[in-house]
Structure 1
């Protein structure tokens, strides 16, 4: 049991650190708004594949309809509460304040899906070892463009480096924190498996929608191209994994 826990925590920590890798890339690779839109689309495509290839099927496999709907209902309630926050309403005027609101929205969205996805990784390691590794691999690839997106929006605000570093640090550790919660849930309450996976499924779909609708105002075509390529890329990786 200790071995499984250690593996899950190490793998999820590495997946979380890939967010930092994406942040660092922004400082060494020039990124235009067109590229940014493609990156977010690519990241969303990976998330979309994770949702329908892992999260939803696992919730169906390990639970019943009442547990699945309970998880989705809890997710919708949580997202409704999150949507009430002022920074979840981004005005499209293109000034610094708007970019700050967009960066906070992206930060909250990352936390909102990192923790449930971390829970899914922990549950995956406990019930099907290969599932945990597959989820962690997919999220590691997703977190790189996600980190780039967060870094770009934060850098556009002109905020102090301390705030920048603090938000990135919280994003990095949120994934292993969720993994620890997932391991605990499976050990203490196995009936929470389906609820956890269905909760994560709904949160991921929300994240794609919320971030995507703001990227639409930049370069819709690049976002859609990235979405398709990200999904196909993840499918190919899944076939060889």
Structure 2
């Protein structure tokens, strides 16, 4: 698999990888063709799993390389990671405040962002789309880092990150298509909107890869930025949504499993 990616430029590598993550989202969204209702315990476990994947990826694939690269560039090893991490959270917080969206299981009166008359279904899609912005960017930055020959950054590590994010995209696709079906949309429209939520990943990945290639000094900041954005999504959205159904033990177990799988992928492949 790694040899396949190495024949392309980092931007194309990012596009291929995020096409895969988009495809897994679509696969999850296709679950709506099998059932209108998704078992709440299963959903909470999968959301916890997604949170665990993102937490592990934030450290093993993003923050740890950011620290290592900062030191190799002669910078204080803690400053770029700290600055980038906080900026990632601030930017996602700003988007969260501005972009109209609605979290799963909440009434439309609880919609966040600027006030709008958009339909509930659109607001639900935008909530998942917000999850996918930092994921695509993280993959692009990882491939860009490997492409410019940064020590410690490898194509194998970027592939591991893409695999991990792809795994956690499956429940995200299901988490949007199933509620849309319950809202009264047809199976086809529920699937369409579910997979559409991940379309931002290839765009974000190619931008991230191109930015890193053209501005190498920004790389440790960019890696930490992606990590901060992902942790913001986990704490702000995934964990609260996983605990809405009162299945905290299942959600926690899912998070532990997800973290372990992502850690193993990164260490084994990276």
Give the TM-score normalised by the residue count of structure 1.
0.83
SS of equivalent residue, structure 1 residue 3: coil
Rounded Cα–Cα distance in structure 1 between residues aligned with 2:222 and 2:182: 35
Could you tell me which of 41, 60, 68 is aligned with 2:67?
Answer: 60
Matched, 1:215 2:221: no
Could you tell me which of 163, 171, 178 is aligned with 2:204?
Answer: 178
Rounded Cα–Cα distance in structure 1 between residues aligned with 2:248 and 2:122: 20
* Contact 1:124–1:131 (Cα < 8 Å) also in 2: no
**Residue of structure 1 in register with 2:257 after alignment:** 229
Shift of 1:27: 2.5
**Residue of structure 2 in register with 1:16 after alignment:** 22
* Contact 1:122–1:178 (Cα < 8 Å) also in 2: no
Could you tell me which of 48, 53, 57 is aligned with 1:41?
Answer: 48
Query: Tell me, which stretches of 5 or more residues in structure 2 are unaligned?
Result: 1-5, 112-119
Rounded Cα–Cα distance in structure 2 between residues aligned with 1:87 and 1:8: 28
Rounded Cα–Cα distance in structure 2 between residues aligned with 1:106 and 1:159: 17
- How well do the aligned residues superpose, as a CA RMSD in angstroms? 3.1
* 1:27-38 alignment runs, 5 A limit: 27-28=33-34, 31-38=38-45
Matched, 1:168 2:195: yes
**Residue of structure 1 in register with 2:137 after alignment:** 116
* Contact 1:87–1:104 (Cα < 8 Å) also in 2: no
Size of the alignment, in residue pairs? 240
Matched, 1:206 2:223: no
* 1:52-201 alignment runs, 5 A limit: 52-63=59-70, 64=75, 65-85=78-98, 87=100, 100=121, 103-104=124-125, 106-126=127-147, 127=149, 128-159=154-185, 165-166=192-193, 168-171=195-198, 173-201=199-227
SS of equivalent residue, structure 2 residue 38: coil
